Amino acid sequence: MTQNGKGSALILGALICIGLVGLGYLLGTQLGDAAIDVKQFERSVTVKGLSEREYDADIVIWPIQFTAASNDLGELYSVIEDSASRIRDFLVERGIDPDEITLAAPAITDKSAQQYGNNAAAEFRYVATQTVTVYSSQIAAVRQVMGSLSALGKQGIAFTGGNYQGQTEYLFTRLNEVKPAMIEEATTNARAVAEKFAADSDSVLGKIRQASQGQFSISDRDRNNPHIKKVRVVSTVEYYLSD
């Protein structure tokens, strides 16, 4: 190779090296800026928004349990049938729709057939438990009748209560109607919290990165007012932040 050829090769090699270094620097700068941009873009804040409201229950389930005892099974059935009929008439007279009243089959216990216990001392061989159930949307009317049921007790009907099966239930079935407004309220409250955080941190609140709606919960407002329900939902929202 001649001297001129060697010189040209050296110059070409030097130019290629300079070009590669420049390209590497340029790519490194651009990638560095991109990394910084991505890091800034990923800045976010996660907040929770609460919506809690009170609503009246719209369905009441009122099981009315009573007992009767006898040593004659046929007589026992007559007694419980008569008591159930009197209870039904009592409810209808006070404004309860007959279609909202149902009667369950009686549960009969034969004391002499029980394996355990001192059954010889039992005064009556047969004991029956009967349940008349009111399933109604007339909450106020049913609650008023509840307070007057003692009038039947004075007529000789032995009511039972306190067990799980005999507890009155109040239901709120309009959840789908109130969901949209409550979700909107929870989201609005979450954004207010996020805006306060952004202002305190000298940041600008951006769009929602992701959001999740918590489950709705329905509970009694308090022990003494189970017919008033507390409906609650918490939404979790993540917002982008920027300087």
pLDDT one-digit tens code per residue, 213-230: 889 999 999 999 999 999
Q: Around Cβ 76, how many Cβ atoms within 10 Å?
A: 20
With cut-offs at 50, 70 and 90, classify the pLDDT of residue 58: very high
Q: Is the pLDDT of residue 33 over 50?
A: no
pLDDT of the residue at 213: 86
How many whole angstroms from its chain centre is CA 146?
28
Is residue 44 assigned to a domain?
Answer: yes
Residue whose entry in the numeric block shows the structure tokens 């009246």 = 56
Q: Is the pLDDT of residue 17 over 50?
A: yes
**Of 146, 171, 196, at which residue does a domain stop?**
171
At position 62, the amino acid (one-letter code) is W
What is the arithmetic mean of pLDDT over 143-170? 86
**What is the CATH number for 166?**
3.30.70.2970
Residues 156, 79, single domain; the answer is: yes
Residues 122, 221, single domain; the answer is: no
pLDDT of the residue at 32: 39
pLDDT tens, residue by residue, 97-150: 999 999 999 999 988 776 555 555 678 899 999 999 999 999 999 999 998 988
Distances (CA, A) of 173 to 109, 139, 219, 234, 237: 37, 13, 12, 20, 27
Comparison of pLDDT for 157 and 27, the residue scoring more = 157
Range of the domain at 199: 40-56+174-242
Residue whose entry in the numeric block shows the structure tokens 């910084």 = 36
Mean pLDDT for all residues in the chain: 84
